Amino acid sequence: MRWNVLPYTIPLWITLIFSIGTAIYIFKRRAVPGAIALFIMSLIMSLWSLGYIFELLSQSLREKIFWDNVQMLGGAMGVSCFAFALQYTKQKICLKRRVTILLAIEPVIIWILAVSNLTELFRGNAYIDTSGPFPALIYDMGIASWIDFAFGYVMYILFIILLIRFFIRSHDLYRKQASFMMIGLTITAGGYILSFLDLIPKYMRDVSPFTFTILNLSLFFSIYRYKFLNTVPIARETLFEKINDGLIVLDANKVIVDINLLAQTIINTTTNEVIGQLFHGIFPNSQEILKNMDNSMQTNLEISLKKIDQEYIYEVESLPLVNKRNTNIGWLIVLHDISERKKMEKALQISEEKYRNVCEFANDGIVIIQDGYIKYMNTKLLEMINHTYEEVINHYFDIFVIQEFRTLVRETYRRRIMGEEVNNRYEITLLCKNGDKLDVEVNAAVMNYNGRLATLGYIRDITERKRAEKALRELAVKDPLTQIFNRRHFFILAQKEFELSIHHKYSMCAIMIDIDHFKQVNDNYGHAIGDQVLCNIANNIIDSIRDTDVLGRYGGEEFAVFLPKTDICKAQLIAERIRKNIMQSSVSTDRGQIFVTASLGVAQILNFDEDDIDKLFDRADKALYTAKQKGRNKVIIYN
């Protein structure tokens, strides 16, 4: 061992310790999207640093080449960066096993070439240079080395593109997380470029491991300052910021990881002041909330907050957040302002007349039910159901509820009056005078009315919320442009039909459809017209298939159809019908009619014991490729 080399290994030992510590921390949070890829990246940094340390300490050429081969495992660094970006930014491309294998092929082949070095494909003219402060391994880069360099930087560029796109459309918290990831990896990539372009002294052949310390520090800062790996990006702008309740997200350690604008207003703070802070150090009356939390159930309680000499009362709901393994990973705190409702209840206790004056100006509907009959209904609720006061007073209350919910409403009312434990808040649908249906949330309580028990109900219109929830559900299953199933949901439905057909030994077929020369439509007429063409084609396909068939947008200008209980002859007829309908249809523009054609590939199940749905659609795709080779605007059966 050459002792004069030891000072140069100190930064590498620091990097090694940092990398191992980071890997252990990340592995404990491996359930978070992107954590596994980041864990692999940390292991690669550890191996790379360890290999470089022992390369510097080795004296013979053979030993140095051995430890240089260990460092070549770092070729998977770019792949792990790209894989992390795919998972963290929740791209539609998911890391299935076959995608992972494809990404790993290049690093594995390069490592094999580095170890075997056949015909010096990886390194040539290796020797020990003694002109520097310590003996260093020097060699010429082979063609395999340059391929590995190019592949790694393609992966890194893709990583940067994904994170920049994510940065533009994300919340401030996630922007900061992404920024530190990009900064750390950019410095590492810069060191890698300097090494490959021989812009550093020969004896410092590879400075990448020295930059890993900076990368690890950026990771640590992102983890501890911005709670990276404790939170994941969500579609928060639609619901989280615009909901009428204050929302606070806690991790498993009761640390605040997100907070919406209304909650910031309630507790008079900002995001930068509370993110990363313990909940009990920020929120008033937090001890009362925390002691009621339980990992297996949600809790509700009321708290009072004073702001500018005015008291506000909030209903606090604590909802446990669990992962796929049903393990508690945090809490969602919902703050609902019930100050107005409390004022109404207090007014009721003073006098019915004062109560009516208050509730007539309320934003929610209010109803009093006694012995099953409506005794009072405020103006807001009358407007909601489009009735007059005379039309509802002393009428049985459930005639204004749709049939589906009448049994629930009657039973809940009966049990509440009997003093039994019932859910005070539930959702029903009211029947309006003009026949329209109105989704509402009911919050009911028992009261004393004219010396006898009655039910007081607060009715809130949740039509917009229901519409938003429906839109979110449709976004999860439908292609937003053509309004047919997206690829993910298409394969979920097709897989169910496939398994049913396999069980009953039914014939089944698949059709792959690709629009011929669709790029020319976009180039000549613009993407807006191209979108109209895609929608027109989707409608033509819908008109050409049966109700039992499953249609989805496969991607771009490709569509897929699964045909259950269908033999190849009938499938060919359906495919021809689709082709003709597309060919004969057109889209009107100010530059005239646009006609397009389509190529179709058809395949059928061949072996009930060995085939799966992927094989079925692979065959249809091959037939589609043949149709395009044979001139397009054709239907080809897989043979």
Give the catalytic positions in this structure.
557
Q: What is the CA radius of gyration of the chain?
A: 33
Q: 559 with 552: CB under 8 angstroms?
A: yes
Q: How far is CA 433 from CA 10, 402, 430, 436, in A?
A: 81, 12, 10, 7
Amino acid identity at 504: H
Backbone angles phi, psi at 627, to 5 degrees: -60, -40
CA 224, 225, 227, 229 torsion-angle sign: negative
Tokens 């795709």, residue located: 621
Query: What DSSP state is assigned to residue 217?
Result: H
Tokens 């506000």, residue located: 312
E strand or H helix at 211? helix 208-226
The encoded tokens of residue 488 equal 């993910």
Backbone angles phi, psi at 459, to 5 degrees: -115, 120
Amino acid identity at 554: Y
Q: How far is CA 113 from CA 44, 142, 144, in A?
A: 18, 10, 7
Other C-beta atoms lying within 10 Å of the C-beta of residue 146: 12
Q: 242 with 218: CB under 8 angstroms?
A: no
3-class SS letters over 462-516: CHHHHHHHHHHHHHHHECCCCCCECHHHHHHHHHHHHHHHHHHCCCEEEEEEEEC
Q: What secondary structure does DSSP assign to 326-389, as a single string?
A: --EEEEEEEEEE-HHHHHHHHHHHH-HHHHHHHHTT-SSEEEEEETTEEEEE-HHHHHHHT--H
Q: 246 with 268: CB under 8 angstroms?
A: no
The encoded tokens of residue 160 equal 């940067």
